[in-house]
């Protein structure tokens, strides 16, 4: 069974989507539509923008949605790609909901632009952050966060991106994130003595309680948009369950702003539903790397970053 996967922040790179625009009118129309909606030259931003330009959250999110949607449209319209289910990592979930026919692309573009601005402004710069925790399993990271809050007296800190076994990202108050590596004892988890803490270069503490102001903003924005029932289920980050109801898709997108991305469980749910092949619709290979760590060979992921990738995907789709 084929499924579609859509990447989130961290997958962006200069030149993203360029080969699609050069080869397919479908992709060019998506770029033109997004540019008209937000009065932004997305070809210039995606093709010529610097890494710093693309790393600005308010730019990153619409760019990722655009390139993912353009990729999906090319696959669907030109190569007959018809997935039976989908999932998206963080902002990638918007592209999944668009692909499933629940939310119009025009509405999603406006929503993710606002989402990026709201998440960026929710916390004063420097007060929050995110740290990758390498070497611990999800339940251990939850325990680590509870211990840190209780022992330090600071809040909040919580698992934000449960990406793959041994690769969890925590998010919260920067002072607490700085406190954890200094006070962590290697014997806290006897089975995993070698734990690494890697501060991430992000501008805000995404997917934690500090994002509540952004969640409240998105409740208003998404509440004014029409969500139809999806043509195929989207396994959502908040619940790690397949959802088709338009109202439920909206509610989970709102909660997702301050809730953890349960990507391990999302991937496992797709395989339980029968997915054994997937296409990563968007820039980069981040999702493929995570899925390989989660499901080994249970879910084979194909990437679309060049015409050669497209030809390989076409061969697999025909097969």
Q: What is the CATH number of the domain that holds 70?
A: 3.40.366.10
State the average pLDDT over residues 7-25. 94
The residue from 102, 207, 239, 258 that is catalytic is 207
pLDDT at 193 over 70: no
Looking at the DSSP assignment, which residues form a beta bridge with residue 65? none
Predicted confidence at residue 192, as pLDDT, reads: 55
Q: Tell me, yes or no, whether 183 and 275 share the same domain.
A: no
What is the reported pLDDT for 57? 84
DSSP state letter for 77: H
The pLDDT of residue 29 is 97
How many domains are there within the chain? 2
Averaged pLDDT, 140-161: 96
* Structure confidence by residue, pLDDT tens digits, 241-250: 999 999 999 9
Q: Are residues 135 and 228 in the same domain?
A: no
Mean pLDDT, residues 296-318 taken together:
91
Please check the confidence at residue 65 and state whether its pLDDT lies above 90.
yes
**166 vs 89: CA distance, rounded Å:** 18
Same domain, 251 and 136: no
**Which among 236, 254, 171, 178 has a CA at the least distance from the CA of 209?**
171
Question: Are 13 and 132 in a shared domain?
Answer: no
Could you confirm whether 90 is annotated as catalytic?
yes
State yes or no: is 207 an active-site residue: yes
* CA–CA dist 174, 107 (Å, integer): 34
How is the beta sheet containing 85-88 ordered, strand by strand? 242-243, 234-235, 85-88, 2-6, 277-280, 300-303
**Structural domain range at position 247:** 2-122+210-318
Torsion angle in degrees (nearest 10) through CA of 285, 291, 297, 301: -40
| Final residue of a structural domain among 160, 176, 202 | 202
- What mean pLDDT comes out for the span 186-203? 79
Per-residue pLDDT band at 190 (split at 50, 70, 90): low
Candidate list 3, 11, 90, 283, residue with the active-site label: 90
Q: Are 102 and 226 found together in one domain?
A: yes
Please tell me whether residues 312 and 222 are part of one structural domain: yes
**Residues 196 and 272 placed together within one structural domain of the fold:** no
179, 202, 225 - which closes a domain: 202
76-103 confidence digits (pLDDT tens) = 999 999 999 999 999 999 999 999 999 9
Q: d(Cα 64, Cα 244) in Å, to the nearest integer?
A: 23
CA-CA distance, 90 to 61, in Å (whole number)?
10
Which residues fall within 8 angstroms of residue 239, CB to CB, at 6 or more apart? 252, 262
Based on the fold, state whether residues 288 and 245 are members of the same structural domain.
yes
CATH code, 185: 3.30.70.250
Same domain, 149 and 273: no
Tally of CB atoms within 10 A around 270: 28
pLDDT at 203 over 90: no
Residues 16 and 63 grouped into a single domain:
yes
Whole-number pLDDT of residue 189: 73
Same-domain pairing of 43 and 29 = yes
% residues pLDDT > 90 (the chain): 85
* The model scores a pTM over 0.75: yes
Same domain for 259 and 160?
A: no
Please identify, among 174, 202, 230, the residue that sits at the C-terminal boundary of a domain.
202
Tokens representing residue 51 in the block: 């890494």
Q: How far is 70 from 317, CA to CA, in rounded Å?
A: 18
Per-residue pLDDT, 238: 97
Mean pLDDT throughout 276-288?
95
Residue pLDDT, tens place only, 99-150? 999 999 999 999 999 999 999 899 998 899 999 999 898 999 999 999 999 9
């Amino acid at each position: 069974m084929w499924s579609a996967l859509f990447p989130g922040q961290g997958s962006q790179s200069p030149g993203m989507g360029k080969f699609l625009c050069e080869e397919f009118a479908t992709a060019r129309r998506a770029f033109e539509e997004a540019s008209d909606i937000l009065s932004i030259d997305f070809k210039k931003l995606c093709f010529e923008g610097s890494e710093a330009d693309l790393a600005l959250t308010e730019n990153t999110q619409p760019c990722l949605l655009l390139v993912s949607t353009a990729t999906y449209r090319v696959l669907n319209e030109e190569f007959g790609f018809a997935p039976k289910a989908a999932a998206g990592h963080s902002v990638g979930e918007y592209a999944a909901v668009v692909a499933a026919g629940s939310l119009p692309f025009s509405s999603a573009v406006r929503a993710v632009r606002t989402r990026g601005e709201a998440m960026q402004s929710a916390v004063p710069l420097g007060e929050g952050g995110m740290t990758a925790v390498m070497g611990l399993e999800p339940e251990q990271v939850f325990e680590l966060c509870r211990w840190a809050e209780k022992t330090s007296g600071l809040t909040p800190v919580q698992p934000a991106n449960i990406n793959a076994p041994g690769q969890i990202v925590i998010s919260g108050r920067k002072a607490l994130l700085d406190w954890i590596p200094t006070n962590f004892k290697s014997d806290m988890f006897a089975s995993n003595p070698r734990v690494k803490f890697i501060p991430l270069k992000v501008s805000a503490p995404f997917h934690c309680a500090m994002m509540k102001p952004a969640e409240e903003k998105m409740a208003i924005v998404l509440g004014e948009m029409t969500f139809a029932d999806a043509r195929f289920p989207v396994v959502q980050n908040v619940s790690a369950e397949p959802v088709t109801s338009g109202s439920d898709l909206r509610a989970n997108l709102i909660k997702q702003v301050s809730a953890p991305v349960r990507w391990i469980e999302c991937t496992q749910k797709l395989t339980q539903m029968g997915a054994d092949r997937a296409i990563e619709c968007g820039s980069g290979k981040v999702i493929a790397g995570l899925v390989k760590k989660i499901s080994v060979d249970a879910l084979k992921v194909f990437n679309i970053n060049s015409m050669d990738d497209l030809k390989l995907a076409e061969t697999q789709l025909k097969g």
